[in-house]
Amino acid sequence: MYEPRIVCFFCKWCTYAGADLAGTSRKQYPPNGVVVRVNCSGRIDPQHVLWAFREGADGVLIGGCHPGDCHYQDGNYKTMRRVTFLKRMLSDMGIEPERLRLEWISAAEGEKLVHVMSDFVDEVKSLGALELGLTGEKGNGGAAKAPAKKKPAVKAKAAGKKTTAKKTGKKAKPAARKAR
Ligand code: FES
């Protein structure tokens, strides 16, 4: 059965602590999310979200403090504007904007986190796997292939001389050019 890959950017002051609370309260929720802890949801650059999709995420969930509760005053308002912008951008790129979700979850809302996570996983499941059609292999970020290994150096014809030079401590003479 298809299991979506979800990248979760959680603010450490609220949603991350909420996820912690859900865990310590032994609440069950789908294990599809990989959590990236950030200092504030406002720290999330649109490029982080695009990279997550490019690296193989089927959905991205952003969790931040409720409006008015941001520890850096207006970080979450910036996030709100960025997510609106990103959704439009994703839509232009042919990616369903529903694959990106922003939620306000406080440190005391472990139960809400469970609901949001379950609901989001169900929604992404219904959308199916994200096929970006990148030229590179999916999951490697379109990165260029690893460079081919260097060919082993061709053995010098005068290997014997080299050994002698090493032993004697003298420099080996460069091979004389052949006369044409
Ligand atoms: S500190 Fe949590 S969103 Fe800013």
Q: What is the pLDDT of residues 98-153, one digit of tens each?
A: 999 999 999 999 999 999 999 999 999 999 999 887 655 544 444 444 445 555 55
Question: Is 57 a pocket residue for ligand 1 (Cβ < 6 Å)?
Answer: no
Integer-rounded Cα Rg, in Å, for the chain is: 27
| Side chain identity, residue 59 | G
**Per-residue pLDDT for 164 more than 50?**
no
Overall average pLDDT of the 24-40 stretch? 96
User: pLDDT value at position 118?
Assistant: 97
User: pLDDT value at position 2?
Assistant: 86
Overall average pLDDT of the 146-162 stretch? 50
Q: Which domains does the chain have, with CATH numbers?
A: 6-127 (3.40.50)
User: pLDDT value at position 38?
Assistant: 97
- Work out which ligand 1 atom sits closest to the CA atom of 39: 1
Mean pLDDT computed over every residue of the chain: 84
Which residue out of 8, 43, 71, 109 has the highest number of ligand 1 atoms within 8 Å of its CB and is therefore the one to mutate?
A: 71
pTM of the predicted structure, to 2 decimals: 0.75
User: Among 139, 126, 137, which residue's Cα sits nearest to residue 2?
Assistant: 126
Sheet of 100-104: strands edge to edge? 33-38, 6-11, 59-64, 100-104
- Work out which ligand 1 atom sits closest to the CA atom of 71: 1
